[in-house]
């Protein structure tokens, strides 16, 4: 039954998107752990569930094989096993407190949050994310973050499992039904009919999605061609008179601010467009630190703001335990240098406008954007999901933005090299979006808060 639960829950996430299953997916697992004689046996069931669920949910990791070789499948298995240990802990604790209904749901959600912490923390597989398409229930995130949505989904599963086992808890079943219906109607009441709400002042924003294959992104011989693609797409969009033009993460394989020809081209383009241009680029300072950054050029061509990535991807942007692992992984040709996290970085400032900023998988963490959100005109993530082709990863990544928008009641904008670029309103509704591998620009208006 733990294997069945793992499969059912995996089907709730992209690209399957069978999200209603989330309300029953854990029932087989919960029934199984309640039938175990000891909490230790329940932990084993939880581990089996975790291996199956995370093995499917994180299978997209294997799209990195062209870059990491045979170490990638090994990393996928270790990652799935590591996440499964958290589920084992949750099942161990739930089995010990099986008479405490609410505590069991809190335990599960608490372990989900625990998984997100630390240098190896990830949020993939958080149950609340299954409800990105069920917006009335997703509105709970406005005051409880995505973990409040997880709590409700797990609570429903626990009550159904207890009813299956005892056939006696009719009152619990009735109460959780009332809670669910109340949450649904409250959430529905929070979503306004109009798609653009706010002040009459608006910003016109253009997103440029170059759709550059990753093997070309990593080859500096294609820098001029890749840059020209973004340049041409931008000029085609100028007839829309955008206030802000956004390019994705690491547009070309160079340090734009430290590379005079490319820096001058960006300055000239900003003056030509009479708009702010934001672009992703690596940046190094005088101390030799390398940052993954967003740089803002003003309409006069000046560099006016920079955001440096705070939460780096382990094994993607830096190598943990370098003295031990680099001799083993040297053959991948991937870890010659590490990016530096910058915890002292600030949001982008464009004149009087503050932009709450994130790069790549930073948008999967509730806390990072929530700290920047007060006073921000909108939330922004730039990314390059070309690493993952048309796997589930770009879809999971974009759907995380639904919850960042709801949690902060602000427009969420994502600009991807390829992956999904788009805009989500403060209630989680996708206003516009591109497709994976689609080359083009996307222009839209959002109200100033």
- What kind of fold does domain 202-447 have according to CATH? Nitrilase/N-carbamoyl-D-aminoacid amidohydrolase (3.60.110)
* Least confident residue range of 97-101, 278-282, 404-408, 428-432: 97-101
Cα atoms in the 13 Å half-sphere on the side-chain side of 194:
6
How would you classify residue 283: left for phi > 0, otherwise alpha for psi between -120 and 50, otherwise beta? beta
* Cβ atoms 22, 153 nearer than 8 A: yes
pLDDT confidence bin for 447, thresholds 50/70/90: very high
Query: Does pLDDT of 300 surpass 90?
Result: yes
Name 182's Cβ contacts closer than 8 Å, sequence gap at least 6: none
Alpha carbon distance 441, 350 (integer Å): 21
Asked whether the predicted pLDDT for residue 337 surpasses 70, the reply is yes
Domain boundaries, the chain: 2-190, 202-447
Lowest mean pLDDT across 41-50, 89-98, 289-298, 329-338: 329-338
Helices H / strands E in the chain, number of each: 15, 12
Peptide bond before residue 224 is cis, with ω within 30 degrees of 0 = no
pTM across the whole model: 0.94
Average pLDDT, the chain: 92
Element of type H or E holding 184: helix 170-190
Q: Tell me what pLDDT residue 148 has.
A: 97
pLDDT of residue 99: 56
Residue 201's pLDDT band (boundaries 50, 70, 90)?
A: confident
Taking residue 364's Cβ as centre, other Cβ atoms within 10 Å add up to: 26
Answer for the pair 123, 364: CB distance below 8 angstroms, yes or no. Answer: yes
Average pLDDT over every residue of 296-319: 90
Residues annotated as catalytic are 249, 309, 360
**Which position has the token pair 């094994």?**
315
Residue among 356, 316, 362, 308 nearest 123 (CA): 362
Which range among 83-97, 144-158, 164-178 shows the weakest confidence by mean pLDDT?
164-178
For residues 164 and 414, what is the distance between their CA atoms, to the nearest angstrom?
43
Q: pLDDT band for position 448 (50/70/90)?
A: confident
Count the Cβ atoms, other than its own, within 10 Å of residue 245: 28
> Could you give the percent of the chain with pLDDT greater than 70?
95
pLDDT at residue 210 in the model: 96
Distance CA 422, CA 430 (A): 7
- The residues pairing with 290 across neighbouring beta strands, listed in sequence order, are 284
Q: Residues 240-289: pLDDT tens digits?
A: 999 999 999 999 999 999 999 999 999 999 999 999 999 999 999 888 89
CB 379 within 8 A of CB 408: yes
Q: Would the pLDDT of 330 be above 80?
A: no
């Amino acid at each position: 039954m733990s294997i069945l639960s793992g499969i059912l829950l995996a089907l709730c996430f992209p690209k399957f998107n069978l999200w209603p299953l989330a309300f029953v997916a854990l029932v087989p697992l919960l029934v199984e752990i309640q039938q175990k004689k000891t909490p230790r046996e329940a932990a084993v069931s939880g581990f089996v569930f975790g291996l199956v669920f995370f093995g499917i949910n994180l299978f997209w990791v294997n799209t990195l094989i062209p870059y990491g070789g045979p170490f990638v499948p090994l990393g996928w298995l270790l990652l799935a096993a590591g996440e499964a240990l958290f589920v084992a802990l949750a099942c161990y604790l739930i089995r010990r407190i099986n008479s405490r209904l609410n505590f069991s749901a809190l335990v599960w959600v608490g372990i989900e949050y625990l998984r997100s912490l630390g240098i190896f923390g990830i949020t993939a597989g958080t149950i609340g994310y299954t409800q990105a398409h069920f917006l009335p229930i997703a509105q709970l995130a406005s005051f409880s973050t995505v973990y409040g949505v997880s709590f409700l989904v797990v609570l429903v599963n626990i009550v159904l499992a207890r009813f299956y086992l005892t056939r006696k808890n009719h009152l619990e079943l009735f109460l959780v039904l009332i809670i669910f219906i109340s949450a649904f109607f409250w959430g529905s009441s929070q979503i306004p009919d109009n798609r653009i709400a706010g002040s009459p002042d608006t910003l016109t924003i253009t997103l440029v999605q170059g759709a550059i294959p990753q093997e070309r992104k990593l080859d500096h011989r294609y820098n001029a061609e890749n840059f020209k693609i973004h340049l041409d797409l931008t000029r085609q969009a100028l007839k829309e008179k955008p206030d802000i033009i956004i390019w994705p993460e690491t547009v070309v394989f160079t340090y734009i601010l430290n590379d005079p020809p490319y820096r001058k081209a960006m300055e000239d383009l900003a003056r030509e467009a009479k708009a702010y241009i934001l672009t992703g680029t690596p940046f190094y300072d005088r101390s030799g630190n390398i940052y993954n950054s967003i740089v803002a050029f003003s309409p006069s061509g000046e560099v006016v703001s920079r955001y440096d990535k705070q939460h780096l991807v382990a094994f993607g942007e830096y190598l943990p335990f370098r003295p031990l692992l680099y001799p083993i992984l040297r053959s991948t040709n991937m870890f010659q240098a590490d990016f530096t996290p910058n915890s002292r970085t600030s949001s982008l400032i464009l004149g009087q406008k503050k932009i709450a900023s994130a790069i790549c998988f930073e948008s999967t963490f509730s806390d990072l954007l929530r700290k920047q959100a007060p006073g921000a005109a909108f939330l922004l993530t730039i990314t390059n999901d070309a690493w993952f082709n048309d796997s589930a990863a770009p879809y999971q990544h974009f759907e995380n933005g639904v919850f960042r928008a709801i949690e902060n009641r602000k427009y969420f904008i994502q600009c991807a090299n390829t992956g999904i670029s788009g805009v989500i309103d403060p209630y989680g509704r996708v206003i516009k979006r591109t497709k994976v591998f689609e080359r083009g620009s996307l222009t839209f208006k959002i109200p100033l808060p």
